[in-house]
A and B are shown apart, each in its own frame.
Chain A
Amino acid sequence: MPSDIQCDIDLQALVDLYLAEMPARAEALRLALTGGDRAQLQRLAHRLKGSAGQYGFPALSTHAAVLERLVRDGADVNAIHGAAMTVLGLCDGIAKQHVTACHEASS
């Protein structure tokens, strides 16, 4: 899943940095989920929604928005868990791609 904005060379460095931080972002989300910290989960999902959209990952932004809404509306644990796993899956996919791209670039 390449970023939509990779054509802009100046912004490529920013996208790379964002991708490099993706595992940490996913980890924070995972912690909030397992710790049952709904306020934190909602905050992180909201931020992810904004930043993923900004960096050209619309799918991740959409699923983060779904997660944010479910948490805000007090949905049941299973629904939130499902949405969070989707978001985490997308985060991991994006982060892996970044590692592969870096590997290819250096080899």
Chain B
Amino acid sequence: MNARILIVDDDPGTRRFLSGVLSRGFVVQEACSGTESLQQAAVWQPDVVTMDVTMPEMGGLEACRLLKSAYSHVPPAVIVVSASAGSDDLYRAFESGADDFLAKPVDSLELLSRIQLHVQVRTALANMTNVAALDAASRATTTGESGARPVAASQDVAAFTLAKLAETRENETAPHLARLRDYATRLMVQLQQSMSADRPLSEEFVADVGRSCPLHDIGKVGIPASILAKPGRLTAREFDIMKRHTEVGAHVIDWTARYARTGSFLAVASDIARWHHERWDGTGYPDGLLGETIPLAARIVAVADVFEALTSPRPYRLAWSPHDARQYIETHAGVRFDPTIVKSFSQCFDTMVEIHRQYEPVVDRPMQVFVPRMAVVAAT
């Protein structure tokens, strides 16, 4: 069944344009004000809403807030479409509960692909909730932990689906996520051996971090493609917007957690997404947390992520050797990274190199334009 999209804009010309683009792949309805969008959403229950900001009567952000709070089940994904796209505008949009942000004028291909991604995430989310419900039911009738497996499996699927959503917007590949997971897991095994017995890492924690670290950059879905794909250095303003991917990511995951009810896994994922760019000395972002106030999961992923990034090639530089990356990480112990984790990293460095070798070297491919499947269908 085709997904349902509600277009909200007070300008009939803009509505018609968006409607013309979206009716290629979706079932579309229009609303001309915030008030009308609420009424229509209640009756028609769209999957995704594109929301203009400045409208008479009720503005788009207020409508978004009400839309998100009025639903007892999964509310529609809301994409705020705004002419002004400063970092404050982005922040306000996400604060009002929006899931994504697009600047006007909207690129038709980007609009189609983003909506398609949100529809996929909702499908994954619905499946995840269904599996969790099934699992709860089966646990109620049987004994033991036999039911835990399907939930874990569905969480893995959901995590990778969500991560793919971020990934398609950047020239990153799935091996990158798998490597990151393996580095983080190896680090935690080492930590388990070296940490004092009064604060051991539980098996559950290790599993949660491994499962959720592919989501660390999920918030990049909320960052304009023009910034993500920019080949050169970002301006200070662009970097400020880029930094928001941490808060956006945590928001997306928290939102998912509210409707998925699948336990600790998403709480850890949220910690990692929000705080993996914090620094031990308190100069990181978004919150400038200091030392052990940064959640452990985020401190672990910070080291694994930097090791992964440095040893991978980028369009503007060659890959560093693992040895050089190790030197960088050790030099920044107590500055950027938790010294305890860096110590564990050094202890298991040889295995990290093995993991690095295990994966095929990432070929430096040219930028690819993401073409959503239904756009191809529409063209044939």
Contacts and interface: CB of A to CB of B under 8 A. Distances in A.
A53 B83 contact: yes
B173 interface: no
A23 interface: no
Nearest to A44: B11
Nearest to A56: B105
A65 B104 CA distance: 13
Nearest to B15: A51
B175 interface: no
B10 interface: yes
Instruction: Determine which residue in B10, B13, B21, B104 has the highest number of CB atoms from chain A within 10 A of its CB, and name it.
Output: B13
Interface in A14-35: 14, 17-18, 21, 25
Contact of B17 (A21, A25, A55, A61): A55
Interface in A33-88: 43, 46-47, 49-51, 53-56, 58, 61, 65
Contact of A51 (B11, B21, B24): B11
A8 B104 CA distance: 18
A54 B20 contact: no
B108 A8 contact: yes
B16 interface: yes
Contact of A54 (B10, B14, B24, B54): B14
B10 A47 contact: yes
Nearest to B16: A14
Contacts of A51: 11, 13-14, 17
B108 A11 contact: yes
A6 to B, nearest CB: 13
A49 B103 CA distance: 13
Contact of A46 (B16, B21, B54, B105): B54
Contacts of B106: 54
A50 B11 contact: yes
Instruction: Determine which residue in B10, B16, B24 has the highest number of CB atoms from chain A within 10 A of its CB, and name it.
Output: B16
B200 interface: no
B17 A47 contact: no
B56 interface: yes
Contact of B105 (A13, A21, A54): A54
B17 A54 contact: yes
B104 A54 contact: yes
A104 interface: no
Nearest to A46: B54
Interface string B1-39: 000000001110110111011001000000000000000
A21 B56 CA distance: 22
A46 B13 CA distance: 12
B16 A43 contact: no
B13 A53 contact: no
A103 to B, nearest CB: 23
Contact of A47 (B11, B20, B105): B11
A8 B17 CA distance: 13
B13 A21 contact: yes
B20 A14 contact: yes
Nearest to B18: A54
Contacts of B54: 46
A47 B11 CA distance: 6
A43 B56 contact: yes
A10 B11 contact: no
B20 A18 contact: no
B104 A50 contact: yes
21 contacts: A11-B17, A11-B20, A11-B21, A14-B16, A14-B17, A14-B20, A18-B17, A46-B54, A47-B10, A47-B11, A50-B9, A50-B14, A51-B11, A51-B14, A53-B105, A54-B14, A54-B18, A54-B104, A54-B106, A55-B17, A58-B105
Which are the 9 A-B pairs with shortest beta-carbon distances?
Answer: A53-B105, A51-B13, A47-B11, A54-B105, A14-B20, A51-B14, A51-B11, A54-B17, A50-B14
Given A47-B10, A53-B105, 8 more contacts: A18-B17, A47-B11, A50-B9, A50-B52, A54-B14, A54-B18, A54-B104, A58-B105
